[in-house]
Amino acid sequence: MAASAPLHAFSLRESEGIAELVLDVPGEKLNILHAAVMEELAEILAGLTGRSDIRCLMLRSGKPGTFIAGADIKEIEAIREPLEAEEKSRSGQDLFNLLEDLPFPSLAVVDGPALGGGLELALACTYRLVSDNPKTQIGVPETGLGIVPGFGGTYRLPRVVGLTEALRMILSGRPVDGPRAARIGLADACYPAAFLQDKASAFAARIASGSVPPRRRRRGALRTFLMERNPLGRALVLRAARRDVLARGGKHYPALLETLSLLRKTFRAPRQRALLLERRALGKTASTRVCRNLIGLFFAREAARHVPAPAGQSREGKTAQGAAVIGAGVMGGKIAWLFASHGISAGMKDVSWDAVQKGFASAYQTYQELARRGRLDRRKINLGMHRLSGSIDYASLGKPDVVIEAVVEDMSVKKKVLAEVEKAAAPDALLASNTSSLSITEMAGALARPERFVGMHFFNPPSIMPLVEIIPGARTGPDAVARATRLALDLGKTPVVVKDCPGFLVNRLLMPYLNESVSLVEEGADFRTVDRVLEEFGMPMGPFVLLDEIGLDVADHVARILVGAFADRMAPGALMGQVSASGLLGKKSGKGFYVHGKSAKPGARPRANPDIWKLLPRPANARMIRRLDMMHRPLLAMLNEAARALEEGVVASARELDLALVLGTGFPPFRGGLLRWAEDELGVGTARDMLELYTRTVGKRFTPAPLIIRLAAQSKGFTPGAAA
């Protein structure tokens, strides 16, 4: 086989004993550690190993605002055997060992993302400097892809920042910014981005002159330092981490438990032993179904981010400089918060100052919740609140680039408000409705320029839920779709474009799942058991906890809207309406199927509401319902509707449908999504057979969708090339 052409990703410059190695992968927006990049780096480092005239090596990126975004995910996706993963790990470890073992100090200069292999490369350097650039995000996200860090991260990171901080970074996958990297000892210093290169050059000169002492890990809190220095303390730290992982559903993610086991064995082990165990751990996790599913979702999410730039705009600038939210209720206030938290001024308009005040209270409550979780400091909260304004007339809002309508879910009210908005807004403003189920095409009938109007369905709470459904109406222009999609990205959300139909995508699929769960209870099942069974499957909360979160009245209202379009297969059980009619609305009223209160511990299962028992039916023909039926009936009801939506073109692909359900309902990511689960674990043929069985024994609502019947007969799956 002919040798491939040299990549020339690196350039090496030398001056006065300092070698500067610059990485700039040609033709790529980000520096990725492809196999060819690593081969080139290995050649350069091998050539530097015997040099006695170099006193410092400085590594930096040639791409402004970025360092190294990690290893090539496609190469990880291609792994099928543990030994293949171990060999890739070995090559990366050997390369970074070569860097660590250079006969002179090295300095990594990080301005921008340093993720996965990028951080592992920086950890192999003697020193690290970082910038305060908001793009500087430093972390090890590998467990989010179902694998352990494999280029020495589990060996070096705990030795730099300590076991407790390393566990937090690896198990959560969340990166740290530049200032925090300096605080925890991951970086030697953090400088303003504009001065980073000058500071790095001066730092390198000090290293070369021998005036910078060998770096030592900062001890941090004395209690943490003392805990980690002895075997008993380390055991307690690891035990607490394991407890937290299991409480968050980590038993479904092998990489999390494998990481804990690995660090227990390697924290005090010599490098050779620690790296050997790391290679084996990567081999065990990289070839699992969970890894393939998580990587599939990663690529689906990346694809959702690649959207056309709106006309006349580059991909780099923000779509909106100013926004307005019409309807300052709880949801309106949260959407306004979302704009403000991403640096976009937002005005809230409602019919009274009392209503506007509720919007401010909703936004402030969101900030406070994030502050309690340690996600925001007081300074950022004050800045964010100062980006918000309120009004009871349109004139005070000025001429914002984007107007989001968030009034009550009533078609006549929405059409009236949108007609007013169009007259008051700038001619080129993007108009959007935050509706969860009403027709965008019908709303657009109230507008003179419907081409600039689009649906943007934000999921509650917007501070947490990552999905936004983008819904073009029949007369929505392509530029409006592009602007709305790009706006969602600017707000840190993942957009999925869906067809204008009742319930759109997520609510249309969620309602059969909730209705079938209620039907199980009407037949005699214990709602607490149904919740536990589906939580064991991997759902973030059971259907009845979810109904309480949504609100029983809201769920019943949405179900009845969908019945008009989809007939009996969307018909809610009588129980849902009876519970809401009794005043048990769920979390917002303090009681639903469960009791909710401020004293409840975060993450703890709520207590069953004693008032609910008198409302539950006692069917004369009650029978024992199997736990398998409690799991399969709601899931198959959802799957059947998903197959219909896919065939109708409500969403462009099975991959996007799975992504929307994972991000919009919390469908377990480790299963890859609803359709991936059906074709990869259950089997499309098995799904068809079970639907036919339930059609005979439960009701015609389970009649298999034509797409499922056809794919099962052809032994095909929902995604191209997938087998049933």
List % helix, strand, coil for the chain (3-state, nearest 5): 55, 10, 35
| Same-domain check for residues 357 and 450 | yes
Least confident of 174-178, 398-402, 565-569: 565-569
Crossing angle between the packed helical segments 378-386 and 330-341, to the nearest 10 degrees? 110
Which one of 443, 472, 497 terminates a domain?
497
474: helix, strand or coil: coil
The band of 316, judged by pLDDT with boundaries at 50, 70 and 90, is low
Whether pLDDT at 217 is above 90 = no
Residue 297 belongs to a domain: no
Q: For residue 496, what are the β-bridge partners?
A: 469
Query: Mapping DSSP to helix (H, G, I), strand (E, B) and coil, where does residue 81 land?
Result: coil
pLDDT of residue 2: 40
In a domain, residue 4? The reply is: no
Q: Give a yes or no: residue 208 inside a domain.
A: yes
CB 212 within 8 A of CB 107: no
Of the pLDDT bands very low, low, confident and very high (cuts 50, 70, 90), residue 20 is very high
Phi, psi of 470 (to 5 degrees): -100, 120
For residue 80, the SS3 value is coil
Q: Would you tell me how many other CB atoms lie within 10 Å of the CB of residue 244? A: 16
Q: Which of 192-201, 604-613, 636-645 has the lowest mean pLDDT?
A: 604-613
Q: What is the rounded average pLDDT for all residues in the chain?
A: 90
Please indicate, yes or no, if residue 117 is contained in any of the structural domains: yes
Of the listed ranges 9-13, 498-502, 612-616, the least confidently predicted one is 612-616
At residue 234 the predicted structure's pLDDT band, cuts being 50, 70 and 90, is confident
Q: What is the pLDDT of residues 438-490, one digit of tens each?
A: 999 999 999 999 999 999 999 988 888 999 999 999 999 999 999 999 999 99
CA distance 255 to 142: 9
Whether residues 248 and 394 share a domain: the answer is: no
Both 248 and 333 in a single domain? no
> Is there a single domain that holds both residue 179 and residue 195?
yes
In terms of residue numbers, what domain contains 465? 322-497
Note whether 496 and 521 are within 8 A (CB).
no
Query: What positions carry a catalytic annotation?
Result: 457
Report the Cα–Cα distance between both ends of the chain, in Å, rounded. Answer: 37
Rounded to whole angstroms, the Cα distance separating 459 from 514 reads 17
- Express each pLDDT in 257-285 by its tens digit: 999 999 999 998 999 999 999 999 999 99
Helices (H), 523-573: 527-537, 543-550, 552-566
**Run of H or E residues at 113:** none
DSSP string, 225-248: HHHHTSHHHHHHHHHHHHHHHHHT
Q: What digits encode the pLDDT tens for the residues 524-579?
A: 899 999 999 999 999 999 999 999 998 888 888 888 888 878 877 888 878 888 88
Give the domain-ending residue among 620, 644, 673.
620
Residue pair 128/108 in contact (Cβ under 8 Å)? The answer is yes
Instruction: Give the whole-angstrom CA distance, residue 638 versus residue 646.
Output: 12
Across the chain, how many H-helices and E-strands are there? 29, 19
Residues 367 and 485 occupy one common structural domain: yes
Main-chain dihedrals φ then ψ at residue 131, nearest 5 degrees: -105, 165
Position 3 confidence tier, pLDDT thresholds 50, 70, 90:
very low
Both 146 and 52 in one domain: the answer is yes
Residue 4 CB neighbour total at 10 angstroms: 9
Confidence of residue 606 (pLDDT cuts 50, 70, 90): confident
- Please say whether the beta carbons of 171 and 144 come within 8 A: no
Distance separating alpha carbons of residues 397 and 523, to the nearest angstrom? 53
The CATH number of residue 470's host domain is: 3.40.50.720
Give tens-digit pLDDT for 91-133: 999 999 999 999 999 999 999 999 999 999 999 999 999 999 9
The CATH number for 107's domain is 3.90.226.10
CB 495 within 8 A of CB 470: yes
How does pLDDT run across 641-674, given as a tens digit for each residue?
A: 999 999 999 999 999 999 999 999 999 999 999 9
Tell me which of 321 and 303 has the higher pLDDT.
303
Q: Is residue 428 part of a domain?
A: yes
| pLDDT the model gives residue 219 | 47
pLDDT bin (cut points 50, 70, 90) of residue 314 is low
Q: What is the 3 state secondary structure string of 317-355?
A: CCCCCEEEEECCCHHHHHHHHHHHHCCCEEEEECCCHHH
Q: Read off the pLDDT of residues 360-387 as tens digits, 9 standing for 90 and up.
A: 998 888 887 777 766 666 677 777 788 8
pLDDT tens-digit map of 672-720: 999 999 999 999 999 999 999 999 999 999 999 999 999 999 999 998 7
Last residue of a domain, one of 287, 303, 332: 287
Tell me: do 342 and 461 sit in the same domain: yes
Residue carrying structure tokens 């089997």: 683
Q: Considering the domain boundaries, does residue 678 fall inside one?
A: no
How far apart CA 332 and CA 691 sit, in angstroms, is 40
CATH of the domain at 524: 1.10.1040.50
| Residue 564, pLDDT score | 79
Alpha helices in 448-505 (DSSP H): 478-490
CA dist 709 and 688 (Å) reads 6
How many degrees, rounded to 5, is the angle at CA 44 between CA 40 and CA 45? 115
Dihedral, 107, 62, 89, 106 alpha carbons, nearest 10: -10
- Are 226 and 180 in the same domain? yes
Domain-embedded: residue 5: no
Q: In this structure, are 131 and 221 located in the same domain? A: yes
pLDDT at 228 over 80: no
Find the helix packing angle between 163-172 and 153-161, rounded to 10°: 130
Position 678 scores a pLDDT of 96
Over residues 17-44, mean pLDDT: 94
Of the chain, the percentage scoring pLDDT greater than 90 comes to: 69
Are residues 513 and 491 located together in one domain of the fold? no
- Dihedral sign for Cα 654, 659, 662, 664, please: negative
Q: Name the pLDDT band for 215 (thresholds 50, 70, 90).
A: low
SS3 389: strand
Sign of dihedral through CA atoms 310, 312, 315, 319? negative
pLDDT average, residue stretch 415-441? 93
Give me the mean pLDDT over the 176-195 stretch. 94
For residues 332 and 200, membership in a common domain is answered with no
* Closest-CA residue to 195 (of 135, 131, 137): 131
Q: Are residues 441 and 525 in the same domain?
A: no
Least confident piece of the model among 101-115, 209-223, 404-418, 597-611 = 209-223
Split at pLDDT 50, 70, 90, the class of 223 is low
Question: How many Cα atoms are found within 13 Å in the side-chain-facing hemisphere of 101?
Answer: 11
Q: State what percent of residues in the chain have pLDDT above 70.
A: 93
Q: Which of 508, 634, 499, 630 is nearest to 570 (CA)?
A: 508
Count of alpha carbons within 13 Å of 332, Cβ hemisphere only?
29
DSSP secondary structure letters along 671-703: GT-HHHHIIIII-HHHHHHHHHHHHHHT-GGGP
Read off the pLDDT of each residue in 189-210 and give the average, rounded to a whole number: 94
pLDDT above 90 for 174:
yes
591 in a structural domain: yes
**Domain count along the chain:** 3
Alpha-carbon distances, residue 333 vs 338, 418, 509 (angstroms): 9, 18, 27
Q: Which pLDDT band holds residue 623 (cuts at 50, 70, 90)?
A: low
The Cα 337–Cα 396 span in angstroms is 19
